[in-house]
Structure formats: structure tokens, C-alpha cells
Amino acid sequence: MPDINDPIIFTLDGGGTTFSFAAIQAGEFLSPEIILSSFAGDLDKCLHSIVNGFEQLMDQTKRPPDAISIAFPGPADYSNGVIGDLPNLPAFKGGVALGPYLEKKFRVPVYIQNDGNLFALGESTFGFLSEINNALREAENSI
């Protein structure tokens, strides 16, 4: 069970058709997932959808996040929060500074990383892979 003092992280999994939003605290979901259209070819509608998703999370959690984590496919300049030319999200053609835009809007740190990297990290931390690794360690100790 999360402690009230644990940070709340808002997440966005960015796809070409939909965006999936969640609020997480201490590894637990705080609310149902929110799924909105990505408006892949229209930058203004796309950005509005992203802001709307995070605002809906704030309404559900009754407090702002401590940080925002976004999973996007490449290419991107992840360290600077710039999303590049994505085939499934043509609205970002030429590069869009999504991280700085959201940091200014919500006044919290925004971290953007490759969706495949974040999937692997999540799986290794919370998924089935950790169970397999534990079983392998136990089997090695019993030999």
C-alpha cells in the first residue's frame, strides 16, 4: 500500500492511435487507465490530448504529480525531451520539445524515454522476468 508521502508519477504511453495515461504511486495504480486519441497528424489536437489526459489524472488523484514519465518510440532526443520524426505520429515531424512544454505547463520534471527501454525496465523490475531470475538464483544455490 502506498504511503501518502510516496511520490505520484503520471505516465503516458504514446502510440500512433491512442495515448494511455496512468497515475502510479509506490508501484501501484491509483486510478483506472485513461485512453485518449493521439490525433497523430494534428499537433495542436495531439498536445491538447496529452494535456487533457494529465489533467484527468489530476482530477482522479486530487493532487498534481511529482513527476511525469513518458514512453515514446524513437527517434527522439530523449535527454532534452524532444520527440523527432515518428512514422506513427506525423504531427511531431521536424521535432517537438514535448518535455519542456509539459514541464512549463505542469511545473514538474518530465522524463521521456524510449518505449522499448521502459518496457524492458518495467518487466525486469515488476514483471515475470524477476520471478524467473529469483528462481534461477534459488536453483543455483541449491546445487
| Residues constituting the chain | 143
Global pTM? 0.82
Which tens digits make up the pLDDT trace of 24-77?
Answer: 998 889 989 999 999 999 999 999 999 999 999 999 998 899 999 988 887 788
